[in-house]
Structure 1
């Protein structure tokens, strides 16, 4: 078997750290002077604005943000940079590169808006009483990839100057934003996008040839998922394979086993993601490749991750054993599509090492303490179900659990409905299954 050991994360939602606050800032009129003079501005910075002033400030900043979004869609670099502080060459350069990258993604829709005021007194000290820091939502839809708009967050700081709002910081509150969400592939070096069918691969511009290879491998993985997972999927997926570890950053090593490495992760995107809490249905996923492993990426790894991409829009209540077991089932079936490869060594390990100690269907905690065992047993459960009920039976079982698995009683009822067995009876049958 080409793929002896790895951790594969599936339907993890984006998590946001930090607590929103209210910026204590002064206010100025169109002349740039705070009403009532410096003393009044200083007092305003300490006591805060009225609710009406905060609403007005947010409305004005949203206008600036809307102009920037329109500039991206229209290819207007000057319009995008119009609100950027011209006294900061490094900031201007970063924003120019951001514009160049954003244009490559082909957004069908794009909106920016201030979601939360942020208490950042150090920035008020640096830029003065009119300083306004906000967690800004970027709501976007990539044409041909996203069936609905999705969101990510970024942190911007503005100062009121000469009758308008000027962007003075674009990363000062990064540490309190979504760990997986806001550090997007367009935020660092210039990117290259390689398109192959409905697969889009994002790489560093200097690694365009690597992008072509990953696109070929990804296309093969999409075809394998569509062969072995009987639920309709159009095969549209964005694969992020950047060298920078900050891009959609995750924990790239985990577990206690020697060589235990996360090679890639399917990061789920939710409609109207807000403060790390999904406020809408799952829309899809991005596959993020471990930068340290991007040059040796193999098809079977991507098959596992793309199974998550194909299945997560159904719902997120599916138990972990079925989510990961299905992905392993599709992966192993894809390996054996090639007569030169076999997963018999994997079968032997599961039969001789894991099954004899199996007492329940794999729990989420088992994935944390013994992921080798958890993935192997989960795969074996799905192999049993496909053998006993047919591969097509996996779809209604997965769908029912994804949408209606709300209580332990509901879980048991759904399992029995589709398998004819309680979870305990299913465990006993799986232990006897020889494969």
Structure 2
């Protein structure tokens, strides 16, 4: 390969298996020491309100939230700000910016509703006994991107004034929410959206030109995936390239002791996520670009991540070597679509450095121990299968094991049925394969 950064794609994809979709709802008791959440208490029985009173309070706030969702869909700024504390100009300004950002995404559906309440003594001391801090679910669907609604959570605090609920805090209990993933691109500065085909890129408004460049590269990456992946994919994807590292995730290194830089990650969104389901059916993915590298992206890096976007909805049971090996296979094939580019140096490194010590198909531990080696071995395994059985049969293997590979025995039987080899036999054959 001519470009020295080509191998970054192998490192970047660790996110899918390591952090993508792994959004965990945390109570304040689980918060890191020294965080804002350490001042909060996990929700418990209230001695001040009866169950009926709490239910009534929740119902009233849900009605208020419903009006705010309707205001976004209808473009009604006044209605969106109606419940925001007018005594706090900074809060009003943030909420006004939020409204403008939300309007740019073109939601086909949007709903806010309370999920659970939180005892926050310091907020109650500040605002009085009617203070109600709650985790709010935002369930939304971006038209042309999301096949089904997805959701994220917010931390809001309301108080009762003149028989009306007023929003007084929009981030005071953020530390109690999902450790990764709940901060969305619309939560910070003004955004710009660039659309090319079914690709939507979100960047800071001041970086509109960057968004146009990333959209072009992303559309080319989608075309490359569709050339080399035989199962249907409509190419719809949201690419997030914001300056803030808090957007969608906070981890931009991976691996044990290596400190690898992750250039981008495919963050999988699951149906019913953050409502007590650690994982449900995958709805879709977002590709999130490392803020530090957002101005220097290669197409093949996005090809790797977009392969994950195209394949993750098929099912969750795919072994890591197959998921990452396939993404590397599509990436390398896309590189060699250009006659001026080659992956020969990568191929040589894999054959001479990574294959001799290969004892098993790479698993999670192998990726953690040495990511570059594990990605290389996984890629070469898929290259071997493509040479022996063809990419269409690899796609059939992927679809079968993604749904039915519930146990090690089931996985082994599926692999044998599609490739004619057990995992051990496949490992041995891959080591002998010279390409």
TM-score of the aligned structures, taking structure 2 as reference length: 0.92
Partner of 1:427: 427
Question: Bigger shift: 275-284 or 411-420?
Answer: 275-284
1:239 equivalent in structure 2: 239
Pair 1:7-2:12 in alignment: yes
Alpha-carbon spacing, 1:365–1:277, altered in 2? closer, same or farther (3 Å): farther
CA distance 1:13–1:208, change in 2 (3 Å): same
> Which deviations, in whole Å up to 9, do the C-alpha atoms of 1:92-124 show, x marking residues without a partner?
000000000000000000000001111222211
Tell whether the 8 Å contact from 2:255 to 2:367 is kept in structure 1 after alignment: no
Contact kept, 8 Å, 1:140 with 1:151, in 2: the verdict is yes
Q: Which has the larger radius of gyration?
A: 1
Contact 1:300/1:331, CA 8 A, preserved across alignment: yes
Task: Rate the CA distance shift 1:281–1:259 in 2: closer, same or farther, 3 A.
Answer: closer
Residues 199 and 239 of structure 1 are in contact (CA less than 8 Å); yes or no, is this contact kept in structure 2? yes
Residues 39-54 of structure 1 aligned to structure 2 (within 5 Å): 47-54=47-54
SS in 2 for 1:151: strand
1:270 has 2:270 as partner = yes
Deviation at 1:250, TM superposition (A): 2.9
Is 2:353 the counterpart of 1:342? no
User: What is the aligned partner in structure 2 of residue 391 from structure 1?
Assistant: 391
Number of the residue aligned with 2:375: 375
The within-5 A match list for 1:35-434 is 47-255=47-255, 260-275=260-275, 277-278=277-278, 280-434=280-434
State how many pairs are aligned. Answer: 414
User: Contact conserved, 1:264 with 1:289, CA < 8 A, in 2?
Assistant: yes
Q: Work out which of the residue numbers 23, 43, 48 in structure 2 matches 1:22.
A: 43
Contact 1:155–1:171, Cα closer than 8 Å, also in 2: yes
Secondary structure of residue in 1 paired with 2:354: helix
Q: Helix, strand or coil for the counterpart of 1:193? A: strand
Task: Look up the SS of the partner of 1:415 in the other structure.
Answer: helix
CA, structure 1 residues 345+297, in 2 after alignment: closer, same or farther (shift >3 Å)? same
TM-fit CA distance, 1:256: 5.6
Report if aligned partners of 1:267, 1:287 keep a CA contact under 8 Å in 2.
yes
Give the Cα separation in 2 of the matches to 1:186 and 1:51.
35
Change (3 A) 1:302 1:177: same
1:276 to partner: Cα distance: 6.9
Query: How many angstroms apart in 2 are the aligned matches of 1:92 and 1:359?
Result: 60
Q: In the alignment, is the contact (CA less than 8 A) between 2:222 and 2:235 conserved in 1? A: yes
Classify the secondary structure of the residue corresponding to 1:356: coil
Distance 1:317 1:258, change over 3 A: closer
2:24–2:278 Cα contact (<8 Å) kept = no
**CA positional deviation for 1:278:** 4.0
TM-score for the superposition, normalised by structure 1 = 0.92
Structure 2 alignment gaps of length 5 or more: 29-41
State whether residues 185 and 242 of structure 2, in contact with CA within 8 Å, keep that contact through their aligned partners in structure 1. yes
Distance 2:24 2:229 in 1: 32
Please state whether the residue corresponding to 1:272 is helix, strand or coil.
coil
Deviation for aligned residue 1:127: 1.0
Pairwise CA distance, 1:402: 0.9
Task: Report the alpha carbon displacement of residue 22 of structure 1 after superposing the two structures with TM.
Answer: 2.7
Distance 1:408 1:114 in 2: 40
Instruction: Give, in angstroms, the shift of residue 24 of structure 1.
Output: 6.9
Contact 1:263 1:289 in 2 (8 A): yes
- Do the aligned residues in 2 keep the contact of 1:23 with 1:120 (CA within 8 Å)? no
Asked whether the 8 Å contact 1:14–1:276 carries over to 2, the reply is no
Gaps of at least 5 residues in structure 1 are 26-46
1:316: Cα distance to partner? Answer: 1.0
Deviation string 1:66-115 (CA, Å, 9 cap, x unpaired) is 00000000000000000000111110000000000000000000000001
Partners of 1:279 and 1:165 in 2: how far apart?
A: 34
Aligned equivalents of 1:166 and 1:255: distance in 2?
45
- Give the 3 Å change call, closer, same or farther, for CA 191–23 of structure 1 in structure 2: farther
Distance 1:237 1:13 in 2: 15
1:248 & 1:362 partners in 2: Cα distance? 28
Q: 1:158 offset after TM fit, Å?
A: 0.6
